[in-house]
A and B are shown apart, each in its own frame.
Chain A
Amino acid sequence: MIKDFFILLKQELTVTIILFILLFIKIGVKEMPARIVLNIINALLFLNLLAGFLFIRAGSLFGDMFQTSELISFEKNLLNLGTLIISLQSYHWLKNHKHALEFYMLMLSTLLGMFFMISSNNLLMLYLGLELSTIPLAALANFDLEKRRSSEAAFKMIISSAFSSGLLLFGISLVYGIHGSLNFAILAQGYSASPLGLFSFILLLAGLGFKISAVPFHLWTADVYEGAPVPVTSYLSVISKGAIFFVLVSLLYNVFGNISDTWYHMVFVLSVLTMIVGNLFALRQQNMKRFLAYSSIAQVGFILIGISGQSSAGSSSVIFFILIYLFSNLGAFGIVSLVSSVTGKEDIDDFRGFYQTNPLLSWVLAISLFSLAGIPPTAGFFGKFFLLLAGAGKGNYIWITIAALNMVLSLYYYLRVIRALFMEKQEQPIPKINAGWSPKIAMIICVGGIIVTGLFSGGYTYIHSFFIK
């Protein structure tokens, strides 16, 4: 029993241990130089990532409140990897920040929240994990303490997340009223298709839709992404979004499986709106972070296509896409983060002539953007290909056509940025940036990930194998 406890909970326990080590460093030890602390933390996060691959087992704990399996461990490892990349990338920003340790404490507690959310087998744990992964994140969004925009972003984030969890909770309370249980297994036995049951499902979906910023619920996204510090933005757009997609996939398939005909249409509407609005707004953005915010909204629309697949192909294509999305989006955000923390520039126009001064960084950004756009040799193409393939299994060709048109539309704005990087010139381009070794490692991981997952299709087969067993 005790051994089970340590093995099944190992990923949560390692994160908690790191959290407490940081707390003790903060309270107890004399001021340490920031560089040493950051390197120690990166080493710890690396160990945490490695530990995630050991002793993988399936099982459940705490009277079925917590469950884990090989798939769930894999998802957690993905989140660990993303956190490590972000930590490496934000080296320059944190070096001069007074509260670097607190940044990591809050980030790790949100990571812990996502772990519990993914592992939840109960609506109570789902809700608690969701809150643990958003409330500290709102505090993180305020970490540019002197900047007004940062505080505004934090406030918008906490109010919109409170509103969405209000909707989610009302839905959960009705589900509890109908079924008398919060356990997923019991709910899945026959989710009520009565009008009230559907209504509470809509409330749940709306609550989660806020967190993934699907379109009618996306209004907070761009402001928060622009105002928050870049590392927090990349964390929000990749890690927390990815975690919620993992949960959404398992919720829709396992818990709401028997009303799948109904939610198929809702996901259809959400997806089409999300793609179109995300792309149209991305066209007219001038700020790099807002641009990436809307482009990530558009990507959400694509992921929703995969979700509608409703089979092992659906879930594995979503998880595979999130793996690729993690590398590509973090690659792009890494460069923006580096430029913003060294020079303070964030506009697309500022990036004109970037290739002349920083050829290597331009290539990293270009490869990431190509992958986001889904251009063939990069991994992004295969990601979107599998998503569309899973969606096409249902035979809804209108949806696939809209998606294809949107891919063309998105090419335009990704290429606009690439043209600014490589072909346009300006009087004073961004000076040469010395990245330092830790952001460089992050870039190597991202580009390597994009190329490797693009060239070898092993990734998809590997993820697919979890569902076949």
Chain B
Amino acid sequence: MSASQIIFYLISAFILGCGILAMTTRKIFRSAIWLLFSLVGVAALYFWMQVEFIAAVQIVVYVGGIVVLIIFSIFLTQQSGKEMPKPPLGRNIAAVLAVLFGFALTFLLINKYGFTDQGKAFDWSVNKIGTQMLNTGEQGFALPFEVVSILLLAAMVGCIVIAMRSKPEEK
């Protein structure tokens, strides 16, 4: 086994372990931290695949943005240290069985289809991503870019309306 293979299996175990812990611990703040580790692990996987740009975006947006947002909202809405109640046993068993069955089915299908490495060089560069992002022609992604910007605008407007405190005189 080469070093790269060992690193891959370590990263995978790290991602899945942290993911499982994030979904099963009963302290919500710990759950957020495990999620953070799991997302860092995914970024590491991107680094391992030598897609550094996505890895950087992953760290900046997910780890730096979303998880921080989640942690803030935990501080705003939860009493720290309180344990969440255990899920009822029946639901837990049903969920485990459903998930295991779904996973087995999906992975068997994927395995049977047999995706194989084409062995071609993957040529991406930040330069290429940038030119394609704002290109309106063939292989251009200008339209999705604009659609996403409208979505961000709308999400911003929606968040402001919902989360803004009503003015004091109206209380």
Partners in one complex: yes
Chain A nearest Cβ from B158, distance in angstroms: 3
Cβ–Cβ contact B157 & A102, under 8 A: yes
How would residues 97 to 116 of chain B score, 1 for a CB under 8 Å from any chain A CB and 0 otherwise? 00000000110011011010
Nearest B residue to A22 via CB reads B157
| A247 CB-CB contact with B under 8 Å | no
Choose one: A16, A62, A154, A196; the contact of B143 (CB below 8 Å). A62
Given contacts A62-B137, A116-B143, 20 further A-B contacts (CB under 8 A): A62-B140, A63-B138, A64-B138, A109-B151, A112-B147, A116-B147, A124-B141, A125-B144, A128-B144, A129-B147, A131-B151, A132-B150, A132-B151, A132-B154, A136-B154, A136-B157, A143-B161, A195-B112, A195-B113, A199-B109
Among A6-37, those with CB < 8 Å from B are 16, 19
The total of chain B residues at the interface (CB under 8 A) is 30
Write out the residue numbers on chain B whose beta carbons fall within 8 Å of the beta carbon of A64: 138
Chain A nearest Cβ from B104, distance in angstroms: 13
| A113 CB-CB contact with B under 8 Å | yes
Cβ–Cβ contact B162 & A139, under 8 A: yes
Among A56-115, those with CB < 8 Å from B are 61-66, 99, 102, 105-106, 109-110, 112-113
Choose one: A62, A65, A106, A177; the contact of B154 (CB below 8 Å). A106
How would residues 133 to 155 of chain B score, 1 for a CB under 8 Å from any chain A CB and 0 otherwise? 00011111111100110110111
Nearest A residue to B135 via CB reads A63
Nearest A residue to B110 via CB reads A196
Write out the residue numbers on chain A whose beta carbons fall within 8 Å of the beta carbon of B140: 62-63
Cβ–Cβ contact A65 & B144, under 8 A: yes
Cβ–Cβ contact B151 & A128, under 8 A: yes
Q: B-side binding surface: helix, strand, loop or mixed?
A: helix
Cβ–Cβ contact B150 & A112, under 8 A: yes
Write out the residue numbers on chain A whose beta carbons fall within 8 Å of the beta carbon of B151: 109, 113, 128, 131-132, 135-136
Nearest A residue to B160 via CB reads A102
Write out the residue numbers on chain A whose beta carbons fall within 8 Å of the beta carbon of B162: 139, 142, 145, 154
The answer for the CA separation of A110 and B160 in the assembled complex, in Å, is 17
Among B86-131, those with CB < 8 Å from A are 105-106, 109-110, 112-113, 115
Cβ–Cβ contact B113 & A178, under 8 A: yes
Chain B nearest Cβ from A285, distance in angstroms: 27
| B159 CB-CB contact with A under 8 Å | yes
| B166 CB-CB contact with A under 8 Å | yes
Chain A nearest Cβ from B60, distance in angstroms: 21
Cβ–Cβ contact B147 & A125, under 8 A: yes
Chain A to chain B contacts (Cβ below 8 Å), 22 pairs: A19-B150, A62-B142, A62-B143, A63-B139, A65-B143, A99-B161, A110-B154, A113-B150, A124-B141, A125-B144, A125-B147, A128-B144, A128-B147, A128-B151, A135-B151, A136-B155, A139-B162, A145-B162, A178-B113, A195-B112, A195-B113, A199-B109
Q: Give the one of A16, A63, A138 with max B CB within 10 A.
A: A63
Choose one: A113, A129, A135, A145; the contact of B166 (CB below 8 Å). A145
The answer for the CA separation of A63 and B108 in the assembled complex, in Å, is 36
Write out the residue numbers on chain B whose beta carbons fall within 8 Å of the beta carbon of A113: 147, 150-151
